[in-house]
C-alpha cells in the first residue's frame, strides 16, 4: 500500500506542468546572497537554465566577499558561475569565475576576493543539456575593495574609421611608452639625417609619431606616451629633446635634430643609461612609466659603428630590469653594418633596415613588432612551442616565453609584482595557437591553466576537434583552473588586444588512460 502511494505521487508529479525556474528570480537586497541551481517548480529537481541576478548589500559602504561554493552533481555540460563587480555582466568587470566541478572553500583565494562595489551580479550559464546541482553563498561585509586598476581618463581610441593598406591595424591603437632616439652620427653626413622632404632619417620619426594617439596621462592604458632624445658623441652619449613622457607628436616633430655629428658615441652606454633614466623618472609611480603597458626605446640610425655597439648581455639586463623592449631601425645601412645589427646569435632586440622613410618604411617595423603580424620574427615575444615535461608525463606551453607565475597549484601569483613593464609579460596583438593531439591509447586529457590576462579583453580559448569552444579564460585566476576533455585534438588560442599586458599563462596537458572497469564488490 505504501509503495503504491509513492508510485501515484510520482506519476502526479510527472503530469504536473513543470517549469524551470531560477533559484533567485529577481534582484536581491541583503547581506548574504545565495547561489544555487534552477529547479522544476513541480518537484524541485534541478534543471538546466541560465540565470543571472544582481545582489545589493543594502549599504553603499558594504562590499561582497567570503564566497563558499560546492557542486552537488556535475554533468560535464560546461557549467560556469561568474560573479561581476557591480550591476553589470560586462566581462571587464569579472571578479570570480568558477568552472564546473571546482569547489571554493572558505579562506581560499577565490573566497577572499572582495568587490569594489556594493552590488555584484551573479550569473550561471551552461550548454543546453543535463542540469548540474550547485549551491553557494557570498556575504556582504563593511568596506569596499579599492578598484585594482586605475580608472582610465583618456577616451579609448575605438570608433575611428581607418583604412590604410600599409598597416595591419590603426597605429592609433599603439599603447606603448615609446622613447624615440635618433642617432646624430651618420655615415651619410647631415644629409642622411636631414635631407629634403621625405628622404631623411628624421622623416621616419616624424611619419611614425604623426600616426599615433599620444597621451601624457600617467594613469591611461590607451594611447602612447612619447619622449625624444638623440645619441651624441660625449658622455652620457645621449641628450634629451624635451620632458620625458610629456611630449606631444608635434613636440617631437619640432624637436628632431637639425644637425649631424661625425664623431662616434657609445651606443651601449647611451642605451643602458637612458633606459635607467627614462623608465624611472622618479619614484612617484603616478608620474613614472605606466605599469601595464608595453615600453620601447626606438633607436633610429643611419649608421652602425664598426666598433663599440654590441648590444651585449649587459645592455639586455639593463633593459630587462626596467621591463623595456629595444627596437633598432636602421636606414640605408651597408650590408656589413646590417650583418652586425641583424645578427642571429644571441639577439634579444628587434631590428630592421629600411630604405624608405615614408609610411611604408614606418609600416616595416610597426607591423611586425607593434602589431605582431608575423612578417618578421618578434624578439619581444618569441613563440613558445608545446614541449614535453622533464619526466615526459605531460606537455606544457606558456606565454610569455619567460613566464614567471606559478607552475604548481601549491604556488600562487606573488602579490608584489616585480615585473612592471614588459619583463615576463605577453605582448599586445598576440594571436597564437597551440594544437595538441591526444596520443593513441589515451581516453582524454586533463588541462591545467594558470593565467593572468587583461579581464574581458585578452583571452585564452580552448577548442575541440570540431572547433567548438570548450572553455575560455580571461582575467585573473589565483589558483589553477583545470578541465577534462576527451577531444582527440585540442587547440588553444591566445588573443590579446591593444591595451594592458599582464603576466600570461602556463598550461599543462596530461593525457589520461582509459578508466579500468571497477571490479564488482564481493560481499
Ligand X SMILES: *[C@@H]1O[C@H](CO)[C@@H](O)[C@H](O)[C@H]1NC(C)=O
**Residues that bind ligand X in the complex, under the rule CB under 6 A:** 26-27, 48-50, 52, 54, 87, 89, 123, 125-128, 156, 158, 169, 173, 188, 222, 272-273, 276, 284, 286-287, 314, 317-318, 332, 334, 355, 457, 497-499
3-state secondary structure of 316: helix
Residue 115 grid cell: 568587490
Residues 290 and 226 sit within 8 Å (Cβ to Cβ) = no
The Cα–Cα gap between 39 and 133 comes to: 9
Rounded Cα–Cα distance for residues 429 and 169 (Å): 10
Contact 76, 125 (CB under 8 A): no
298 and 229 in contact (C-beta within 8 Å)? no
Nearer to ligand X, 371 or 413 (CB): 371
Contacts of residue 335, defined as CB under 8 A and 6 or more positions apart, other chains included, come to none
What grid cell was written down for 155? Answer: 577616451
Task: Specify the length of the chain in residues.
Answer: 523
Place of cell 613588432: 369
- Least Cα distance to 309 among 185, 180, 179, 177 occurs for 185
State residue 380 phi and psi, 5-degree precision.
-70, -35
Q: Select 21 or 273, whichever has its Cβ closest to ligand X.
A: 273
Residue owning grid cell 650583418: 339
Q: How far is residue 518 from each of residues 444, 486, 513, 522, measured CA to CA in Å? A: 18, 20, 14, 12
Amino acid at each position: 500500500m505504501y509503495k503504491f502511494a509513492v508510485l501515484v505521487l510520482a506519476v502526479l508529479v510527472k503530469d504536473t506542468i513543470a517549469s524551470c525556474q531560477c533559484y533567485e528570480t529577481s534582484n536581491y537586497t541583503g547581506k548574504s546572497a545565495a547561489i544555487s541551481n534552477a529547479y522544476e517548480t513541480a518537484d524541485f529537481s534541478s534543471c538546466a537554465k541560465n540565470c543571472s541576478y544582481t545582489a545589493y548589500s543594502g549599504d553603499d559602504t558594504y562590499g561582497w566577499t567570503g564566497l563558499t561554493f560546492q557542486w552537488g552533481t556535475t554533468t560535464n555540460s560546461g557549467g560556469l558561475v561568474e560573479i561581476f563587480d557591480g550591476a553589470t555582466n560586462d566581462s571587464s568587470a569579472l571578479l570570480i569565475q568558477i568552472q564546473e566541478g571546482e569547489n571554493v572553500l572558505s579562506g581560499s583565494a577565490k573566497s577572499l576576493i572582495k568587490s569594489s562595489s556594493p552590488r555584484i551580479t551573479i550569473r550561471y550559464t551552461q550548454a543546453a543539456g543535463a542540469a548540474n546541482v550547485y549551491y553557494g553563498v557570498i556575504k556582504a561585509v563593511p568596506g569596499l575593495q579599492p578598484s585594482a586598476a586605475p580608472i582610465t581618463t583618456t577616451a579609448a581610441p575605438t570608433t575611428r574609421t581607418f583604412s590604410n593598406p600599409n598597416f595591419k591595424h590603426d597605429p592609433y591603437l599603439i599603447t606603448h611608452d615609446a622613447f624615440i632616439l635618433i642617432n646624430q652620427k651618420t655615415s651619410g653626413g647631415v644629409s642622411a639625417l636631414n635631407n629634403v622632404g621625405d628622404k631623411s632619417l628624421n622623416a621616419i620619426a616624424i611619419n611614425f609619431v604623426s600616426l599615433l594617439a599620444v597621451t601624457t596621462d600617467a594613469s591611461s592604458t590607451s594611447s602612447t606616451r612619447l619622449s625624444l632624445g638623440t645619441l651624441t658623441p660625449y658622455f652620457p652619449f645621449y641628450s634629451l629633446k624635451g620632458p620625458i613622457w610629456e611630449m606631444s607628436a608635434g613636440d617631437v616633430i619640432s624637436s628632431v635634430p637639425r644637425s649631424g655629428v661625425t664623431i662616434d658615441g657609445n651606443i651601449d652606454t647611451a642605451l643602458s643609461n637612458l633606459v635607467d633614466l627614462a623608465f624611472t623618472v622618479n619614484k612617484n609611480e603616478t608620474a613614472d612609466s605606466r605599469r601595464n603597458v608595453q615600453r620601447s626605446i626606438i633607436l633610429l640610425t643611419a649608421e652602425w659603428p664598426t666598433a663599440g655597439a654590441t648590444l651585449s648581455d649587459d645592455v639586455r639586463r639593463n633593459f630587462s630590469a626596467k621591463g623595456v623592449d629595444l627596437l633598432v631601425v636602421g636606414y640605408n645601412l651597408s650590408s656589413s653594418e646590417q650583418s652586425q645589427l641583424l645578427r642571429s646569435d644571441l639577439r634579444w632586440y628587434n631590428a630592421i633596415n629600411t630604405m624608405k622613410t615614408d609610411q611604408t618604411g614606418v609600416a616595416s617595423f610597426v607591423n611586425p613588432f607593434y602589431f605582431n603580424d608575423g612578417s618578421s620574427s618578434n624578439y619581444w615575444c618569441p613563440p613558445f612551442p608545446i614541449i614535453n615535461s622533464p619526466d615526459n608525463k605531460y606537455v606544457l606551453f606558456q606565454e610569455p616565453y619567460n613566464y614567471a607565475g606559478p607552475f604548481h597549484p601549491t604556488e600562487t601569483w606573488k602579490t608584489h609584482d616585480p615585473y612592471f613593464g614588459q619583463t615576463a609579460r605577453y605582448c599586445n596583438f598576440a594571436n597564437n595557437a597551440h594544437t595538441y593531439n591526444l596520443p593513441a591509447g589515451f581516453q582524454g586529457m586533463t588541462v591545467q591553466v594558470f593565467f593572468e590576462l587583461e579581464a574581458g579583453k585578452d583571452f585564452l580559448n580552448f577548442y575541440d576537434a570540431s572547433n567548438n569552444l570548450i572553455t575560455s579564460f580571461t582575467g585573473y585566476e589565483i589558483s589553477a583552473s583545470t578541465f577534462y576533455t576527451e577531444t582527440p585534438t585540442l587547440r588553444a588560442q591566445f588573443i590579446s588586444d591593444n591595451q594592458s599586458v599582464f603576466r600570461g599563462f602556463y598550461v599543462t596537458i596530461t593525457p589520461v588512460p582509459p578508466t579500468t572497469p571497477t571490479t564488482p564488490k564481493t560481499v
